[in-house]
Structure 1
Amino acid sequence: MIPLMLDLTGRRVLIFGGGDVGARKAAYFEHETEVTVISRSFSPDLEGLAVQRQEADLSSLTDEALRGILQGAFLAVAATQDPVINNRIGKLCAEMGVLFNNAAGEPGDVIIPSIVRGSNYLVAISTRGKSPAVSRYLREKLEAEYADLDRMIDLQEEVRSMLKKTEPVQEERSRILWKILSDDEIWEALASDYSRARGLAIKRYLHA
């Protein structure tokens, strides 16, 4: 497997199973695309999510009925507690060319990672299902240790624009930007005062 960032605008994502796991998967996708949760019952955690619900007893549906539900889907997530049902959905997805993630059962062709997200960045973490705890640990460490990463990215963008006007050599521009990124005092300033961090960067590395 290789990591990819996908634009799901205009795509359909189906979540089979409306329990706690299904609700977490729905919350993961709800801001990115159209999500439908198919289940006999629905967790209270789905309340307030921008998702559609489709009531169905998955254990009683025929393959033909499931194919009808899957028609036109880009990605399906099997999040029921029954691996037999999940695997059955996965087999149909493979036949129909629908990407598939399995919460319990035989692995599908998609892994849903743990996410660290800012305004300017997105980091995906996965242990390929071997240790969700490690994925969570890494996510929480990154969130704590790089709480000001968005501001650093803004600063890098601003300084990079300045350098393009004053420094013709690409290697030198890259060296200066890396120096700023490695400057602990600039990181400390970013936590409370962007203008001060900006001033330090310009004084130390653009006017040196």
Structure 2
Amino acid sequence: MIPLMLDLTGRRVLIFGGGGVGARKAAYFEHEAEVTVISRSFSPDLDGLAIRRQEADLSALSDESLRDFLAGAFLAVAATPDPELNDRIGRLCAGAGILFNNAAGEPGDVIIPSVVRGSRFLVAISTRGKSPAVSRYLRTRLEAEYAGLDRMIDLQDEMRSMLRETEPEQAERSRILWSILSDDAIWEALASDYGRARELAIERCLHA
């Protein structure tokens, strides 16, 4: 597998299973994709999500009925507690060329990662299903240790623009930007005062 970031705007994503797992999967996709959750019952965790609900007893459906649900889908997630049913949905997805994630059963061709998200960045973490706890651990460490990352990205963008006007050598521009990233005092200032961090970057790095 290789990591990719996909624009799912306007894409149809199906979640089979309306329990707690299905609700977490739906919450992951609902901000961007057109999500439909198909289930016999629905967890309260789905309340308030921008999704469609389709009531159906999945275990009683024929393959043909499942294919009807899958028509036009870009990605499907099997999130029922029945691995055999999940695997059957996966086989139908494979036959139809639909991307598939399996919450319980044979692995699909899509892994849904743990995500660290800021306004300026997105980091995806996966252990390929071997240890969800490690994924959560890395996510919480990144969130705690790089709380100022959005502001650092803004600072880097501003400094890059300055350097394009004043420094002709790409290698030197890269060195200066890296020195800003490596400066603990600048990181500390970013936590409370962007203007002070900007001043430090100019004084300690651009004018060094």
Q: Same fold (TM over 0.5)?
A: yes
Distance 1:206 1:198 in 2: 10
The alignment of Structure 1 onto Structure 2 pairs a total of residues equal to: 208
User: Match for residue 171 of structure 1?
Assistant: 171
Distance 2:174 2:8 in 1: 33
1:36 alignment partner AA: T
User: Match for residue 117 of structure 2?
Assistant: 117
For 1:144-202, what per-residue CA distance to the aligned partner results, in whole angstroms no more than 9, with x for missing partners? 00000000000000000010111111000000000000000000000000000000001
1:104 alignment partner AA: A
Identical aligned residues as a percent: 82
Q: Would you say 1:162 and 2:198 are equivalent positions? A: no
Distance 1:63 1:120 in 2: 43
TM-score of the superposed pair, with normalisation by structure 2: 0.99
Structure 1 residue 207 displacement after superposition: 2.1
What secondary structure, in the 3-state scheme, does the structure 2 residue paired with 1:31 have? coil
Cα-Cα RMSD? 0.5
Q: Would you say 1:9 and 2:4 are equivalent positions? A: no
TM-score of the superposed pair, with normalisation by structure 1: 0.99
What secondary structure, in the 3-state scheme, does the structure 2 residue paired with 1:49 have? coil
For 1:84-112, what per-residue CA distance to the aligned partner results, in whole angstroms no more than 9, with x for missing partners? 11000000000000000000000000000
Unaligned runs of 5+ in 2: none
What secondary structure, in the 3-state scheme, does the structure 2 residue paired with 1:111 have? coil
2:117 alignment partner AA: R
Unaligned runs of 5+ in 1: none
Structure 1 residue 118 displacement after superposition: 0.3
User: Match for residue 135 of structure 1?
Assistant: 135
Q: Would you say 1:88 and 2:93 are equivalent positions? A: no
Distance 2:44 2:159 in 1: 47
| Structure 2 counterparts to residues 47-58 of structure 1, below 5 A | 47-58=47-58
1:50 alignment partner AA: A
Q: Which runs of 4+ in 1 moved over 4 A?
A: none
Distance 2:125 2:62 in 1: 36
User: Match for residue 98 of structure 2?
Assistant: 98
